[in-house]
């Protein structure tokens, strides 16, 4: 053989001639079994190859310019839209007035929960309405809430005026006076505010909307009445809220999230990425003077789809807390002494995490990995099959020979 050529001696795969081959039944059985096994294994491999897994990665968040999107949708069944205000504050208590882009809608609800109309909601509520009917040189009284003594010597633009109901309300809030429903305030009677407020006392309210914030630690809160902010001070006018026993901040959180939703068909079991822990939360206990708070920790998350699309969003963990404003112990917490005071309302406190999660969709195995797996499966099964077959064959021979003897 060696004489036939140099290459021939390298042949690792030497062949058996046809004549030297015997076909056995057991061999056939083993072959069929091998083929079936192989088939199922290859299908399995193929399935694994097509499977998409999500690779989470933990990094320190280095983004500086990203904004925090808040999406919320909360229903207050016992609180009319008109007496509710929404403020966003940072951790030091300053109002976030540089909220660049926001849109909140208040939807009025009847007592039974039907929607009856919507209007835009302003953060901080500090925009007055222009009224066409009033004369140009009109300067409404502030009823002592602002110092108007020196108005007479000033030109029209510098006068301290309360030209509409809203500015009177603001002026009252700034000195901490009770405004109630605006009765006997000329501006409010004229604008129909008093009637409107009183007509709507039994209504509920649903607030829906989004805001883009700077990434700060702070809170977003719903509280009754006009708010007034000064350094180290943030007050709400609770007079109207306090007058009506039926008001309270019972609420249902229909949706609360930071950033866009990620809809991936793969996440459902593996990561529960799109879950919003607050959705569906129903806080129904508590009286009028009750404070509800949620403490949220926001973890920035990037989701990278297979097709290269990247979505920046956030996940968050949350804790719930509520207490009566009267403080002291309550039935739920016999060993807790709640703090006293504060304002009734619904607070979402949030805090940013320094860590960021990157979730990447990847294929479980690459093309070459798949091929390698298939080939090794075939090789392994066939070799083992051959061994089994050989053993069976020899054993069979032995038994026959014994019988022959």
Partner 1 sequence: MANLRSFDAFRECSFRLGHRHYLLTIIIFIAKVASTHEVRSTKGSYSTIMMGLFILFLTWVEVGQFFGGEVDHQFRVDNKLQRDLRINLDIVVAMPCNFIHTNVKDLTDDRFLASELLHYEGFSFFIPPGYKTDENYDSNTPDLDEVMAQGIIAEFRDRGDAKDSGAPACHIYGSIPVNKVSGDFHITAQGYGYRGNSRSHVGIDGLNFTHIISEFSFGEFYPYIHNPLDATVQITKEHLQSYQYYLSVVPTVYKKLGVEIETNQYSTSLQKKLYSFENKGVPGLFFKYDFEPISLIVEDKRIPFSTFLVRLATIYGGIIVVAKFSYKLFDKALIYFFGKRFASRGEEKKGSLLDGDEE
Which 316-335 residues touch partner 1, going by CB under 8 A? 316-321, 323, 333, 335
Instruction: Choose between 180 and 256: whose C-beta lies nearer to partner 1.
Output: 256
Q: Please tell me whether residue 178 binds partner 1 under the rule CB under 8 A.
A: no
CA atoms of 196 and 204, how far apart (whole Å) = 14
At 390 the three-state DSSP class reads helix
Continuous segment of H or E residues that includes residue 267:
helix 267-270
| Segments in 200-300 forming alpha helices (H) | 239-243, 267-270
Count of residues near partner 1 by CB under 8 A:
75
Binds partner 1 by CB under 8 A, chosen from 3, 401, 403, 405:
401
Binds partner 1 by CB under 8 A, chosen from 181, 203, 237, 389:
389
Instruction: Choose between 62 and 245: whose C-beta lies nearer to partner 1.
Output: 62
Binding to partner 1 (CB under 8 A) within 158-177 occurs at: none
Q: Are 365 and 52 in contact (CB under 8 A)?
A: no
Sole window of 24-32, 110-118, 204-212, 234-242 interacting with partner 1 (rule: CB under 8 A): 24-32
Instruction: Choose between 66 and 299: whose C-beta lies nearer to partner 1.
Output: 299
Binds partner 1 by CB under 8 A, chosen from 167, 174, 227, 301:
301
Q: Please tell me whether residue 379 binds partner 1 under the rule CB under 8 A.
A: yes
Q: Are 125 and 226 in contact (CB under 8 A)?
A: yes
CB atoms within 10 A of CB 36: 10
Binding to partner 1 (CB under 8 A) within 91-150 occurs at: none
Instruction: Choose between 158 and 272: whose C-beta lies nearer to partner 1.
Output: 272
Q: Please tell me whether residue 81 binds partner 1 under the rule CB under 8 A.
A: no
Length of the chain (residues): 405
Instruction: Choose between 61 and 189: whose C-beta lies nearer to partner 1.
Output: 61
CA atoms of 221 and 127, how far apart (whole Å) = 19
Instruction: Choose between 14 and 147: whose C-beta lies nearer to partner 1.
Output: 14
Which residue in 167, 165, 166, 162 sits closest to 151, CA to CA?
A: 162
Binding to partner 1 (CB under 8 A) within 255-284 occurs at: 271-272, 275, 277-278, 281
Q: Please tell me whether residue 364 binds partner 1 under the rule CB under 8 A.
A: no
Largest CA distance in the chain: 138
Q: Are 296 and 318 in contact (CB under 8 A)?
A: yes
Q: Smallest distance from the beta carbon of 305 to partner 1, in angstroms?
A: 19
Q: Are 37 and 217 in contact (CB under 8 A)?
A: no
Binding to partner 1 (CB under 8 A) within 341-360 occurs at: 349, 353, 355, 357
Sole window of 79-87, 96-104, 112-120, 372-380 interacting with partner 1 (rule: CB under 8 A): 372-380
Contacts (Cβ under 8 Å, ≥6 apart) of 189: 182, 183
Q: Smallest distance from the beta carbon of 149 to partner 1, in angstroms?
A: 41
Q: Which two tokens stand for residue 210?
A: 């989004």
Distances in Å between the Cα of 261 and the Cα atoms of 141, 265, 301, 312, 365 are 49, 13, 11, 9, 28
Binds partner 1 by CB under 8 A, chosen from 5, 6, 7, 58:
58
């Amino acid at each position: 053989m060696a004489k036939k050529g140099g290459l021939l001696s390298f042949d690792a795969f030497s062949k058996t001639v046809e004549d030297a081959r015997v076909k056995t039944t057991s061999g056939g059985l083993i072959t069929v079994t091998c083929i079936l096994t192989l088939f199922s294994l290859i299908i399995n491999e193929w399935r694994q190859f097509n499977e998409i897994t999500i690779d989470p990665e933990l990094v320190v968040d280095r983004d500086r310019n990203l904004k925090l999107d808040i999406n919320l949708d909360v229903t207050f069944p016992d609180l009319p839209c008109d007496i509710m205000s929404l403020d966003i504050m940072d951790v030091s208590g300053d109002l976030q007035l540089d909220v660049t882009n926001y849109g909140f809608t208040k939807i009025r609800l009847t007592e039974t929960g039907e929607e009856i109309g919507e209007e835009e909601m302003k953060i901080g509520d500090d925009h007055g309405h222009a009224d066409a009917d009033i004369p140009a040189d009109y300067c409404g009284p502030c009823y002592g809430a602002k110092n108007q003594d020196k108005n007479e010597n000033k030109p029209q633009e510098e006068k301290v005026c309360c030209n509409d109901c809203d500015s009177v309300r603001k002026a009252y809030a700034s000195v901490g006076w009770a405004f109630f429903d605006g009765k006997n305030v000329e501006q409010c009677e004229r604008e129909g505010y008093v009637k409107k407020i009183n007509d709507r006392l039994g209504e509920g309210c649903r607030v829906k909307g989004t805001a883009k914030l700077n990434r700060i630690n702070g809170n977003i809160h719903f509280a009754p009445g006009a708010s007034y902010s000064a350094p180290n001070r943030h007050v709400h006018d609770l007079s109207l809220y306090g007058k009506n026993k039926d008001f309270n901040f019972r609420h249902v959180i229909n949706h609360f999230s930071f950033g866009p939703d990620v809809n991936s068909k793969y996440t459902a079991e593996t990561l529960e990425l799109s879950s919003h822990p607050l959705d569906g939360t129903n806080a129904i206990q508590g009286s009028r003077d009750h404070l509800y708070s949620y403490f949220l920790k926001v973890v920035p998350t990037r989701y990278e789809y297979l097709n290269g699309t990247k979505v920046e969003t956030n996940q968050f963990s949350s804790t719930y807390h509520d207490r009566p404003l009267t403080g002291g112990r309550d039935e739920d917490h016999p060993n807790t002494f709640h703090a006293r005071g504060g304002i009734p309302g619904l607070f979402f406190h949030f805090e940013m995490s320094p860590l960021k999660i990157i979730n990447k969709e990847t294929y479980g195995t690459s093309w070459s990995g798949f091929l390698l797996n298939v080939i090794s499966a075939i090789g392994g099964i066939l070799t083992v099959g051959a061994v089994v077959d050989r053993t069976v064959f020899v054993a069979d021979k032995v038994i026959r020979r014994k019988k022959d003897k």
